[in-house]
Amino acid sequence: MSFNIKFTNDNGVKSDIEIVFIDKDLLEKLPESIINIFLLQNFSAKDGEFIFLQNSNTLYYGAILDNVDSIREAAAKSIRIVKKYNIQSLKIKGFDNKEFTYALLLGILLGNYEFVDYKSDSKKASLESIFVVSNIDYKDELQKAFVVANSINMARNLINTPPQDCTPVVFADIAKRISKDFKLDCKIGDMKFLQNEKMDLILSVARASVHEPRFIELKYSPKNAKKKVIVVGKGLTYDSGGLSLKPADYMTTMKADKGGGCAVLGIMQAIAGLKPDIEVIGIIGATENMIGGNAYKPDDIIRSREGLTIEVKNTDAEGRLVLADCLSYAQDLKPDYIIDLATLTGACVVGLGEYTSGIMGYNTDLNREFEEIALKSGELVAILPFNRHLEKLIDSKNADISNVSSTRYGGALTAGIFLGRFIREDYKDKWIHLDIAGPAYVEKEWDVNSFGASGIGIRSVVDFILKVSNGS
């Protein structure tokens, strides 16, 4: 991060600018001279409205002051406004509440992010110090906010990196670097590893790319770990659609098809920093889906690591193939929970919109528990229910299963059900599938996210793991 955050109980601490969150009730308690200025400029303190008073160097930002999500977003958006000014210090009033304070801190740190690695004229912000005025020094909340925000911003940077600079091999090298920096065990599987593991689904998807695929495994393993959680990520560093070629307009954001894999890296980095008493393993299938004379084809029938045969009806439904082999491997490690994250289907975006991830799985209680944790973390999610009628839509007359449904409807669910076919009976109640296709990459600012990658999934999965670690 480019600045320090300090707690102070001195409301008179000097700073270049002050940020004040305000609602209608607080507005009415201000001096009449300030209210008149607000009225003159039609500022009514609605959620998301802001006004800057130069005479006092104060930014007033409208927020719902009893809503933690509004506070987080207000912190992110207000920091984006003031960091453009030539200032070195900033003051903001905090909250005498852990949850709201953490939201404030996380909003500041996530709102400060911008992707400028390829900008030749980018300028470094001058802001150095942020003073949070509070009667309590929330050290634990500040430490967690830094750890989680750094992990999210790392994932955002990696997702935003263009495909020529983040091939599967580079992805694996970055994972190795993170493992070294954060003292995680790391294993990288090359072509020989994939062949020995009979991961023919991953190998088939990767076949037409000049860049070799990689299998990435990171492990956080404390002594006397109570449980084991495995997170699995789809790491398509680029997806052309294969021979079932995507339209040109749909290719321009396909660097983000590695969003699930990048989220797994972010989760592992965060867990290494937070150090819960639980074993966590991150697994990523990293490859490209390209075209060529040796590309895998519609009508191919491929045998998975799990032993099931898949009839390929559409080569653009490749992410579920990569995940199927990864999930098979994950179950051999005997986890207590498996969570996979993937930018899997456009159908999920159609159904839930750009900002919401879909939760799927066979254990309704686990789905609801994860939904509650995710929403509390600030990530929007919704449960999509499986049913026995959808199960029939991915049957194949020529193989055990088809990689796409026989109907265009319910595509997010049938993709999730496809993955479910590779989950053994012993693990069906321990598995969650997250389709993050909507919020993983959005081409406009929203909530705490700037243009582009959001790092979605990291906050919710990290908080789920922490809850499992605490035994609650």
Single out the catalytic residue among 219, 320, 430, 459. Answer: 320
Read off the pLDDT of each residue in 463-470 and give the average, rounded to a whole number: 97
Q: Are residues 309 and 434 in the same domain?
A: yes
Are 133 and 8 in contact, with CB atoms under 8 Å apart? yes
Among residues 100, 117, 137, which one ends one of the domains?
137
Mean model confidence pLDDT for the chain: 97
Q: What is the per-residue pLDDT across 405-429, written as a single tens digit (0 to 9) for each?
A: 999 999 999 999 999 999 999 999 9
One-letter amino acid for residue 107 of the chain: G
pLDDT at residue 258 greater than cutoff 90: yes
pLDDT surpasses 80 at 90: yes
Strand-pairing partners, residue 132, are: 7, 92
Residue 122 has pLDDT above 80, yes or no: no
Tell whether the model's pLDDT for residue 2 goes beyond 80: no
Residue 359 and residue 433 in one domain: yes
Residue 353 and residue 368: Cα distance in Å, rounded? 20
> What pLDDT does residue 218 have?
98
- Dihedrals φ, ψ of 284, to 5°? -135, 130
Clarify whether 320 is annotated catalytic: yes
Query: Inter-axis angle of helices 98-111 and 139-160, to 10 degrees?
Result: 30
- The predicted-structure confidence for 182-231, as pLDDT tens digits, reads as follows 999 999 999 999 999 999 999 999 999 999 999 999 999 999 998 999 99
pLDDT at 67: 97
* Range of the structural domain that residue 82 is part of: 4-137
Is 93 a catalytic site residue? no
- In terms of domains, do 201 and 52 share one? no
Q: What tokens were used for 466?
A: 């922490």
Q: Is the pLDDT of residue 384 over 90?
A: yes
Q: What was the pLDDT predicted at 124?
A: 82
How confident is the model over 349-364, as a mean pLDDT?
98
In whole angstroms, give the CA distance from residue 304 to residue 308.
5
Name the one residue in this structure whose structure tokens are 């995940």: 323
On whether both 93 and 203 belong to a single domain, the answer is: no
Q: Are residue 275 and residue 382 in the same domain, yes or no?
A: yes
CATH of the domain at 352: 3.40.630.10
Q: Judging by beta carbons within 10 Å of its beta carbon (0-12, 13-18, 19+), is residue 375 exposed, middle or buried?
A: middle
Identify which of 153, 151, 316 has the alpha carbon closest to the alpha carbon of residue 238: 316
Q: Both 90 and 161 in a single domain?
A: no
Instruction: Answer whether 93's CB lies under 8 Å from 53's CB.
Output: no
Q: In which residue are the tokens 């990459």 written?
A: 441
Question: Which alpha helices (DSSP H) does 86-138 contain, by range?
Answer: 98-111
Q: Is the pLDDT of residue 329 over 90?
A: yes
Q: Model pTM greater than 0.75?
A: yes
User: Which among 435, 373, 452, 416 has a CA at the least distance from the CA of 157?
Assistant: 452
What lies within 8 Å, CB to CB, of 17 at 6+ separation is 57, 58, 59, 82, 85, 87, 89, 90, 91
One domain, residues 94 and 227: no
- Taking the alpha carbons of 364, 370, 375, 379 in that order, is the dihedral positive or negative? negative
Q: Which residues contact 192 (CB under 8 A, 6 or more apart)?
A: none
Mark whether 368 and 227 lie in a shared domain. Answer: yes
Tell me which H or E stretch contains 250. Answer: none
Q: Is the pLDDT of residue 247 over 60?
A: yes
**pLDDT tens-digit map of 142-151:** 999 999 999 9
Q: Which of 80, 187, 246, 376 is catalytic?
A: 246
What CATH number is attached to the domain comprising 19?
Answer: 3.40.220.10
Q: In this structure, are 98 and 191 located in the same domain?
A: no
- pLDDT score at 472: 66
Q: Which of 267, 97, 296 is nearest to 203 (CA)?
A: 296
Burial class (CB in 10 A: 0-12, 13-18, 19+), 12: exposed
Mean pLDDT, range 97-102, rounded to an integer: 96
Query: Based on the domain organization, do 92 and 191 belong to the same domain?
Result: no
Tell me which of 28-32, 354-358, 418-422, 459-463 is least confident.
Answer: 28-32
Q: For 299, phi and psi rounded to 5 degrees?
A: 90, -15
Rg of the chain over Cα atoms, rounded to whole angstroms, equals 23
Q: Closest Cα to residue 149, out of 104, 190, 194, 83?
A: 104
- Please give the pLDDT value at position 1: 55
CA distances from 370 to 62, 260, 292, 383, 468 (A): 31, 17, 41, 10, 11
Burial classification of residue 13, based on how many CB atoms lie within 10 Å of its CB (0-12 exposed, 13-18 middle, 19 or more buried): middle
Query: Which of 70, 103, 137 is the last residue before a domain boundary?
Result: 137
- pLDDT tens-digit series, residues 291-324: 999 999 999 999 999 999 999 999 999 999 999 9
Residue finishing a domain among 137, 161, 180:
137
pLDDT digits (tens, 9 = 90+) for 262-295: 999 999 999 999 999 999 999 999 999 999 999 9
What pLDDT is recorded for position 327? 99
pLDDT exceeds cutoff 90 at 471: no
Does 297 lie in the same domain as 163? yes
Q: In the prediction, which pLDDT does 123 show?
A: 80
Q: Are residues 62 and 208 in the same domain?
A: no
Strands 228-239 and 337-342: parallel
Residue 251 and residue 240 in contact, taking contact as beta carbons nearer than 8 Å: yes
The residue whose two tokens read 């072509």 is 191
When divided into structural domains, the chain yields a total of 2
Q: Other CB atoms closer than 10 Å to residue 84's CB: what's the count? A: 11
